[in-house]
Amino acid sequence: MNGEDHKAIPCGLCGRPIQPGDAIALYPITRPRQAGARVIWPSGEPSLELWRMKFVACIRGDCCKRGNDYAGHWDGQSLVPSYENGKTHGEAIAHRLFLNRCAG
């Protein structure tokens, strides 16, 4: 692995660097963001469903105001998700509540 394989990217909200291993948040591409923000498909598979696209932001307290937007860690190339299908923390909780309601 060379230095180009794993690199920092700018936070899509504040512009500060996100280093490999840093926790990240994901936001819809419809939200205002900085030029150069990294845009990804959290599931890892590109889709024509543009609503699935998210941009990467840091999780610093003065930048990311809600822990619900936490999605995983940046590995220098892509998201290492903490929840299935690249969901954010809030989406994973909502999904679990929905499943529990349907089951019970």
The residue range of the domain holding 71 is 9-103
Average pLDDT, the chain: 78
Domain count for the chain: 1
- Residue 36 within any structural domain of the chain: yes
Contact present, 56 and 7 (Cβ < 8 Å): no
> pTM for this one?
0.73
31 within domain boundaries: yes
Question: Are the C-beta atoms of residues 3 and 53 closer than 8 Å to each other?
Answer: no
- Between CA 52 and CA 85 the distance in angstroms is 11
Whether 24 contacts 9, CB under 8 Å: no
Q: Please name which of 12, 100, 20 lies closest in space to residue 63, comparing C-alpha atoms.
A: 12
Does the residue 18 lie in any domain?
Answer: yes
Domain-located, residue 1: no
Residue 3 falls within a domain, yes or no? no
Q: Report pLDDT digits (tens) over 4-44.
A: 556 899 999 999 999 999 989 888 888 788 888 888 776 66
